[in-house]
Amino acid sequence: MLANASNELRSPLARIRMSLELMDLDAASPQRHEISRSIKELDQLIDEILLASRLDAKQSDAEPFEALDLTGLAAEECSRVNADLQVDTGLSNTGHSLTVQGSARLLRRLIRNLLENARRYSNSEISLELAQIGVGEHGRAIIRVLDRGPGIPEALRERIFEPFYRLPGASEREGGVGLGLALVKSISERHGGTVRCEARLGGGAAFIVELPVVV
């Protein structure tokens, strides 16, 4: 029902966006900026509710998986938010690609949500590290997104992956609807992987996703 209601919001949201374009407001005015920001947040909320609904569907309804170069996906998403991409030397020196079986659309969303979450809580550099541990059927691709934000209290490091949960005080920060990390968890699990949050040495947070690699 929530997904259906969200889908019905697409048309009025499009009309609001069109009306804003037609309004006689300076493009740099605070009012226009605030309205545009609110529209963007609502648009993101609709996208994430619809995606969460699809991820809750039966496996038979899911989109097909294919072999994907995780390094390429990560590089594209890092360029969007000016994040530093670091690839383990064991991969970069050999030219070995980090290949996983999955949906390009879903894995892009996983990486994007982690990077946007890091950017939201950190005013300094954010980085994404890629590595592989293990070999053969025991091999795992490791995605680590690191920030220098305030960090996540240990008692909340599991709860932050619950749908619509937001850290205390998060409502005052720009952006975020409380579904981003829940989607990261759902997408990770759909791909046979896991996600966790740890404290980053020197301050900040580290989000670590582990996914099976293609043998």
Percent of the chain with pLDDT strictly greater than 70: 80
Q: So what's the pLDDT on residue 149?
A: 92
Domain ranges of the chain: 2-55, 63-212
Mean pLDDT of 67-96: 84
Over 50: is that where the pLDDT of 198 sits? yes
Which residues have C-beta within 8 Å of that of residue 126, sequence separation ≥ 6? 81, 83, 84, 115, 118, 119, 145, 146, 147, 148
Average per-residue pLDDT for the chain: 83
CB atoms within 10 A of CB 39: 15
Confidence of residue 34 (pLDDT cuts 50, 70, 90): confident
Both tokens of residue 17?
């966006």
Burial category of 28 from C-beta neighbours within 10 Å (exposed 0-12, middle 13-18, buried 19 and up): exposed
Q: How far, rounded to the nearest angstrom, does the alpha carbon of residue 28 sit from its chain's CA centroid?
A: 29
pTM attached to this predicted model: 0.81
What is the Cα–Cα distance from 43 to 100, expressed in whole angstroms?
Answer: 30
Question: CATH class for domain 63-212?
Answer: alpha beta
Confidence of residue 204 (pLDDT cuts 50, 70, 90): very high
Asked if residues 154 and 199 have their Cβ atoms less than 8 Å apart, the reply is: yes
Mean pLDDT of 106-134: 92
Mean pLDDT of 105-109: 94
Q: Name the DSSP letter for residue 164.
A: T
Q: What are phi and psi of 174, to 5 degrees?
A: -70, 130
Confidence of residue 60 (pLDDT cuts 50, 70, 90): very low
| Closest C-alpha to 51, from 154, 142, 183, 161 | 183
| Closest C-alpha to 78, from 70, 66, 90 | 70
Asked if residues 195 and 206 have their Cβ atoms less than 8 Å apart, the reply is: no
For residue 198, how many C-alpha atoms fall within 13 Å in the half-sphere facing its CB?
10
What is the Cα–Cα distance from 69 to 100, expressed in whole angstroms?
Answer: 7
Over 90: is that where the pLDDT of 145 sits? yes
